[in-house]
Structure 1
């Protein structure tokens, strides 16, 4: 960043100026009136290890990109979580300082001798932000009607299944519910307790009408949004900001009986890139820098030493920076699906189509088609390929489903998701290993992070000392080894033009994407491009806007290679089930497989299924060690570096509990923060 202007020592709490499209909007804190007649939860949820604070003020947070949705069940990006994490409450609450789950909406729970049957007791007088009661009905609705609904793409459902079987969640009475797991589920409390509970009285109709994904979208009128978190939605301007106000019915208190949160308002401002983010912090228009770049470190550290704000050296965290190749072997075709009667709902593999008719490009091959009608479900496996004659009539017990070409063609015309010659390279382990050897990680550490980063070769971070396997295979920078591996698979410079070709004469060329606005990733992408050019690979670098890139990765899968990262979540490896298990929603290199395509993925699936079923840590650790060794050998992710984390927050904010182990380093406990 070119700007060297002085940092402001403090920022007036009377308001914050937001600039967008050339305009500046003044937002002032708006205290939420609390009626003395409001009933209090029993027992109260008392925040531990905090200093009682005073109410008031506004906290401004600048972020890259805005929310795609306020719906936590379908969101799969940090830009959405930045907001919705403050709008909902959970059964438990994870304390990142002490790394344990403490009571949240539930004030106590117990487990039977079988270690599978759990009973939870909610607090009395819990309320949604609209004043309606929050009860066991909402918990059961969240799980049975939403998370386990096959017509809803829940990013968390994969984590809460054992051998494909769901947890049984049942209501005992208004404040009591029971959960029975198919088998022992080792991290049960941490995981089950960490799911946002949804309001049945608001969303049940949307679920019934198949509009759940759209409900709580960014077009919602804030007056219609109902949650249970420390804040509620007050105003949203796409591309500009999201304004939150205190929820007067939030269930947490300090030990003096003051209801949290202390801070009146939170405004999350959208900025186009990391330069703008740093500039807003320097100008006092943002009060938090949850991630400080290397190029900003010296300047901000000097300012912090002068007492201009609080800055924390957090060390290496669990975040992962990597790129991967698209190994999706599926083909897709444009199809028109029509069911008779039209009330039949259709699930295509793991893609919920809902009611028909539907015109959509869908994966073909061996397809598991699920039809649902009036509480009945029927599963059929059909094969669609070049020889399939259309239209195809599929009979089910309660009607028919017709599969046709939208243009009326009689032949199915599938197209590969990935170009065949490129897919052949990407699927070859030696190709991926060679690319990893070709990456000059020392240059990344020095030129981008000024030495404040470590090399990384593992999915689980060395910072996660309990689970990390130090014996994972490593691929230090060695271009000669890279060329030797490529030669073993007939990739070499055949015409002495400085570029590699495969055995069929195809140039080794592919498109490399990352997101615009993240200057660290953009600079890494340029270095990777240079490294591979020296190897003889033509890498075409095409940065994309973040949400556009997410659509490619999780939507149509039309890409070759992507550089992104994963933030810190739970330290327990089960939190990565949706990434590492082959059926997972975010199994990036080939998501939502009906059955594992490779033997090594099948082995990971098996290990993940087994490790969660034992309470013996040593047994789990042995299996997770093997998972790490498989990933290290096959390297579906090519890991780069792990930078040292630094975060900052303005002076005068109390109860800050910094941690390297969670993406929101200094605001994970935002409901406890206050202005001194």
Structure 2
């Protein structure tokens, strides 16, 4: 049976464009450039069918253009937050985490394997050059399929059974990507926080490409931009996720105007941005976003000292009391949003631990279950989160359509007696004079939990965990190290257990990949060696030998070949059942809270929301381009 789904722009987009364009509501800050002939009027800048954001329909206020806001970042690399906040995507998520066309005017999917994309007529890059199908062709043929520019070959999200798609230009406004089999990973990869790139400004980037530029000119450009090869030059000048090149045209709501390195980055409005409100006023409302570079360690202090107008990154729940107190001294407001992680903190037993004796014990599900039910999660919740978190396994949240109570409750009931019995059954039934259990080879059962040690909250949680596990005869040692060293040790199999966050995406829909429930990457801390094997197609690492893990990998492959939402839903539930019952991750609490600070003058930032990297893109799905300052 042929299955087909079509997504058009909002109804208002198809009914109102002519009226909106004729209304001519100009952005006041752009008038001097328009009058000087440096910019065309709004009727030329907007696409024929701009994307209309009906704010009143979302329960928010249509606003006005103007003003600047400040935010603080922990280093120059963090300018990527503007790509995440801006959340301009070919296809993106709405606040219900449903797909909708954004940069695209519409799209059509047939059998989950044929994807036809239609562009908005008259859509332009930030420098005024028309967005065209040539920009898609250039990205596909000259970048993705250029081995020198794309190391590792075609990205995984664009491969089905090892093959990339067939790319077609259907007409001057339409492109198509098609595979021989379903590719349910494709749309989520385009809507993600770090999206798969399919389109780049060919008119600008060709000057840095060996196929289009003379050798002499390339050498000149390489010298100017301090690049050793033309490929390195092209990569440097074409970064979109971390927009360091001010000259690179963009489709985002704001464009960088500052060369790196700098202590302050200024992002100014994109005068050709494709969204408008229901009154025909071009978005973004805010003219300028100023990013002040600081040390990550003092972002909370600077935020609480009134140096930010909008702050979400770089602060945590531990800073809430201090930030809330800042409301008394500065015109700011602090809200609490819900973190989307499957667990705010999870203890991840490394099933690939290098020590053979310990590895056998850790791979025994009775051991993992014992560790889990020996934790008094209520005590941790009260002591570290003021009781505001939810005691839970590491799993999906109630907000997700995939949520089931049995997943959240799996092996979390505090039962020290049963935990002791399970450890006895594992073979750890002997103890030394200090009450510490003895391994089969005569060593003391000393567990080492490693952590990047990036917050005092981690330390507080681990102190309680150590006490709880000491009560069942396990000695706990805590080791902290820098994040890069921590990850390297994990990949090498040198970490026994680690403290990390749980599932990154605790609010998935069936259309989002369940790859976080299986070993798919080297940074999957509970099974890094198996993750490397999957990631490299078997070239490195080792295949999993545990039947339950083998089943998870097999189910993931079935999901990647699925053609219906019903099939994907069934697979998700099978994987969640195995993952929580086998306690591959020991979740502690979830639905913890994230402080969001904003200027008291900032409008349209929701009082409550879901906060996380992917799929919510921090503030991205709530459209910061619609935030506005009341007195601008």
TM-score under structure 2 normalisation? Answer: 0.73
**C-alpha distance in 2 between matches for 1:455 and 1:653:** 34
SS in 2 for 1:526: helix
Offset, 1:636: 2.0
Deviations 1:207-263 (A, max 9, x none): 996647766399986335443211222337679655433233322223344332222
1:502 aligns with 2:449: no
The residue correspondences of 1:183-582 to structure 2 (distance < 5 A) are: 183-185=181-183, 189=187, 191-194=189-192, 195=195, 197=197, 198-199=199-200, 201=202, 211=232, 216=239, 222-235=245-258, 242-269=265-292, 272=295, 276-290=298-312, 293-297=316-320, 309-314=332-337, 317-321=340-344, 322-328=346-352, 418-464=354-400, 466-472=401-407, 473-546=410-483, 549=486, 558-565=494-501, 566-568=503-505, 571-582=508-519
Aligned twin of 2:215? none
Offset, 1:457: 1.0
Aligned twin of 2:606? 657
Aligned residues: 543
Say whether the 8 Å CA contact 2:85–2:619 is kept in structure 1.
no
Offset, 1:632: 0.9
Q: Which runs of no fewer than 5 residues in structure 1 stay unpaired?
A: 1-29, 69-78, 330-417
Q: Classify 1:158/1:324 alpha carbon distance in 2 versus 1 (closer, same or farther; 3 Å).
A: farther
SS in 1 for 2:532: coil
**C-alpha distance in 2 between matches for 1:66 and 1:296:** 20
Offset, 1:503: 0.5
SS in 1 for 2:480: coil
Q: Classify 1:452/1:185 alpha carbon distance in 2 versus 1 (closer, same or farther; 3 Å).
A: same
Aligned twin of 2:72? 62
1:635 aligns with 2:632: no
SS in 1 for 2:397: coil
Aligned twin of 2:552? 604
Q: Classify 1:313/1:610 alpha carbon distance in 2 versus 1 (closer, same or farther; 3 Å).
A: same
Offset, 1:562: 2.3
Q: Classify 1:647/1:193 alpha carbon distance in 2 versus 1 (closer, same or farther; 3 Å).
A: closer
SS in 2 for 1:222: coil
**C-alpha distance in 1 between matches for 2:189 and 2:244:** 31
Q: Classify 1:85/1:427 alpha carbon distance in 2 versus 1 (closer, same or farther; 3 Å).
A: same
Aligned twin of 1:349? none
Aligned alpha-carbon RMSD (Å): 4.0
Q: Classify 1:235/1:636 alpha carbon distance in 2 versus 1 (closer, same or farther; 3 Å).
A: farther
Offset, 1:188: 5.7
Say whether the 8 Å CA contact 1:568–1:662 is kept in structure 2.
no
Q: Which runs of no fewer than 5 residues in structure 2 stay unpaired?
A: 1-28, 212-229
Offset, 1:453: 0.8
Quick check: which one's strand share is greater?
A: 1
Deviations 1:453-496 (A, max 9, x none): 111114222331x1013223223223333332222222355432
**C-alpha distance in 1 between matches for 2:54 and 2:152:** 32
Which deviates the most, 181-190 or 535-544? 181-190
1:136 aligns with 2:136: no
Offset, 1:675: 0.6
Say whether the 8 Å CA contact 1:438–1:531 is kept in structure 2.
yes
Q: Classify 1:255/1:66 alpha carbon distance in 2 versus 1 (closer, same or farther; 3 Å).
A: same
Q: Classify 1:214/1:425 alpha carbon distance in 2 versus 1 (closer, same or farther; 3 Å).
A: farther
**C-alpha distance in 2 between matches for 1:67 and 1:502:** 48
SS in 2 for 1:502: coil
Offset, 1:286: 1.7
Say whether the 8 Å CA contact 1:158–1:585 is kept in structure 2.
no
Aligned twin of 2:105? 107
The residue correspondences of 1:108-127 to structure 2 (distance < 5 A) are: 108-112=106-110, 114-127=111-124
Aligned twin of 1:388? none
Aligned twin of 2:217? none
**C-alpha distance in 1 between matches for 2:363 and 2:262:** 39
TM-score under structure 1 normalisation? Answer: 0.69
**C-alpha distance in 1 between matches for 2:428 and 2:307:** 53
Offset, 1:600: 1.8
SS in 2 for 1:487: helix
Quick check: which one's helix share is greater?
A: 2
1:592 aligns with 2:601: no
**C-alpha distance in 2 between matches for 1:259 and 1:620:** 39
Offset, 1:656: 1.9
SS in 1 for 2:258: strand
Deviations 1:394-440 (A, max 9, x none): xxxxxxxxxxxxxxxxxxxxxxxx34444333333232222222322
Which deviates the most, 140-149 or 253-262? 140-149
Say whether the 8 Å CA contact 2:341–2:591 is kept in structure 1.
no
Deviations 1:98-118 (A, max 9, x none): 433332121012234x45322
